[in-house]
Amino acid sequence: MATTKVLRKIVRIDESKCDGCGLCVPACHEGAIEVIDGKARLVSDRYCDGLGDCLGECPQGAITIEEREANEYDEAAVQARMEVAGRGDPTGRPYDAHAAHAEHGHGGCPGAMAMQFQRPATEADEDDGSGPRPSMLAQWPVQLSLVPPNAPYFQGADLLVTADCVPFAYADYHRDYLKGKALVIGCPKLDDIEFYREKLTAILQASDIKSVTVLHMEVPCCFGIVAAAEQAVAASGKDIAFETVTIGIQGERK
């Protein structure tokens, strides 16, 4: 059956300007954009509502809104796509595109912009106990669902994959593990492990990662993040040093 097209506003991506940073992907609440072969691409007209939440996230100015003939926006298809991708409501309610826009605003989340921090030498040194402990975090964002696979802070880095309960349980997380590493965090119980595996694989393939260290809690559900990282290293086809560390629920190293 022929697909009916209508004249409407829809996203246009100029691939000549796109550098594949991926910042537009989490900003698109309908999942209409994916990074394919190093370029952001609109995967289907019917997933794009034309509101342009992704525009403000593109540092290269590669995304615009144009008016052209396109398939009609299909909210039911978007809902099905989001639920398959694990981006539905964790309470079990169906994905609601209107609620997603209302929550995040029109223009994307400025907090997802990739940043790398150059800390003064005094902060990079071990603290001497005379004042507040310095943070060892050297990048933003850290959530695995938000980091661009080819972010500059991954190049030549030691990658620290952390289950997100670990920094709360282990008091010396910054000093003992985070210092000098690129970080990604996630919850293997609440999030999509297959997505984690694919995202970690993309990071390892796009960057010259030197080593991968996985910190996880001792509870059984937390071992999913270890499996995702192991599978990503194997899928990358690279010889990358790999280490896992288990943290007890009372904060001790196992």
CATH number of 5-109: 3.30.70.20
Q: CA angle, corner 218, sides to 212 and 220, nearest 5?
A: 100
Average pLDDT in the 210-219 region?
A: 97
Give tens-digit pLDDT for 129-173: 666 778 899 998 899 988 888 888 899 999 999 999 999 999 999
Q: Residue 176: which pLDDT band, with cuts at 50, 70 and 90?
A: very high
- Break the chain into its structural domains and give their ranges: 5-109, 114-247
For residues 150 and 216, the model is more confident at 216
d(CA 239, CA 234): 8
For residues 141 and 115, the model is more confident at 141
Counting every residue written for the chain, the total comes to 254
Q: Which helix (DSSP H) or strand (DSSP E) does residue 71 occupy?
A: strand 63-71
Q: Which amino acid is at 7?
A: L
CA distances from 37 to 18, 22, 30, 206 (A): 11, 12, 21, 11
Could you confirm whether domain 114-247 is CATH 3.40.630?
Answer: no
Q: Which helix (DSSP H) or strand (DSSP E) does residue 203 occupy?
A: helix 193-206
d(CA 244, CA 246): 7
Domain 5-109 shares a fold with domain 114-247: no
Give tens-digit pLDDT for 2-53: 567 899 999 999 999 998 888 888 778 788 888 888 889 999 999 898 887 7
Output the CA torsion 10→57→31→18 (10° steps). Answer: 80
pLDDT at 85: 56
